[in-house]
Amino acid sequence: MDVIDIPLVLAWVREIAAAVEQQEARLTELDSAIGDGDHGSNLRRGFTAVLAALDTLDEPASVGAVLTRTGSTLISKVGGASGPLYGSAFRAMGAALPGETADPAEFAAALAAGLAAIRKLGAAEPGDKTVVDAWTPALAAFERTADTGLAAAAGSAAEAAAQGVLDTVPLQARKGRASYLGPRSVGHPDPGAASTELIFRALATALGRLKPSG
C-alpha cells in the first residue's frame, strides 16, 4: 500500500532538520540580501528543538501527532516570521492526519491545509514573494501527480517548489521584512520560498529512502 505511516513522517521531519542544518548558511545568505539574515539560524534553532521534542514523543498515536508536535515546537522556539508560519502549517497538517497512515489523497489534503494556515496567518497572496510562492506550485504538482504514487508526487512537488523559488526572483516583496526594501527586493530569490523547497525535497528523499518507488 502506498501510504505515509508514522516512521515515514518521522523520517520526513528528520530529513528537513538535516537539510536545514546543511543549508543554514545558504538560507541566511538569501535572507541577508533582502531581510535581516536570520532565516537559516531561525530554522536551525527551530528544527534542532523539533528533533529533541520528537525524541520525547514516545509511540505517537497518529501521523498527525508527529506533525502537530513539530508545529508547536516551531511556534515556541522560532522568533522570526517563519516560526509561526511554518508552525501553523505543521499544526494544520497534523490536525488533517488523525490516522496511523495517510494515502496520497489524504496527504495532499494535509498539504493544502498547511498552505491555508500559512495564508490565513500571513495574508500573503501568490506573487507577494513569500513561502506561498513555493508551497502553492508544490501543492498543485503533488495533487496533479498523487495517483502516480507518493514518491513520484513528492518528487514533482519538489521540482515545482524549485521553479517557484526561481519565479520569486523578479518579484517585488509585498509581505514580510523584504517588503520594506520596495523595488530593491527585486532580483533575489525569497528565502522562505527556498526553505519551502527544502521541506518538499526532504519529503521526496524520505519517501525514496524508505519505500521502493512505484
Instruction: For residue 170, count CB atoms less than 10 angstroms from its CB and return exposed for 0-12, middle for 13-18, buried for 19 or more.
Output: exposed
Q: Quick check: helix, strand or coil at residue 101? A: strand
Element at 136 (helix H, strand E): helix 132-145
35 touches Mg ion by CB under 5 A: yes
| Cell numbers given for 151 | 514518491
Torsion of CA 197, 148, 105, 46, to 10 degrees: -20
Query: Which of ligand ADP, Mg ion, none interacts with 168 (beta carbon under 5 to 8 A by kind)?
Result: none
Number of residues that bind ligand ADP (CB under 6 A): 24
118 touches ligand ADP by CB under 6 A: yes
What's CA 104's distance to the chain center, in Å? 17
198 touches ligand ADP by CB under 6 A: no
Minimum Å distance from CB 29 to Mg ion?
Answer: 12
176 touches ligand ADP by CB under 6 A: yes
| Gap between the Cα atoms of 164 and 102, Å rounded | 26
- In single-letter form, the type of residue at position 104 comes to P
- Is the CB of 39 or the CB of 45 nearer to Mg ion? 39
Of the residues 192, 203, 205, 207, which one makes contact with ligand ADP according to CB under 6 A: 192
Site string for Mg ion, 95-124 (x = CB under 5 A): ------------------------------
DSSP E strands: which ranges in the chain? Answer: 4-5, 101-102
| Interaction residues for ligand ADP, span 43-72 (CB under 6 A) | none
165 touches ligand ADP by CB under 6 A: no
* Nearest alpha-carbon partner for 164 in 135, 191, 203, 204: 135
Minimum Å distance from CB 104 to ligand ADP?
Answer: 26
- In single-letter form, the type of residue at position 120 comes to K
Binding region for Mg ion (CB under 5 A): 31, 35-36, 38-39, 80
Binding interface with ligand ADP (CB under 6 A): 31, 35-36, 38-39, 42, 80-82, 85, 118, 122-124, 130-132, 175-177, 190-193
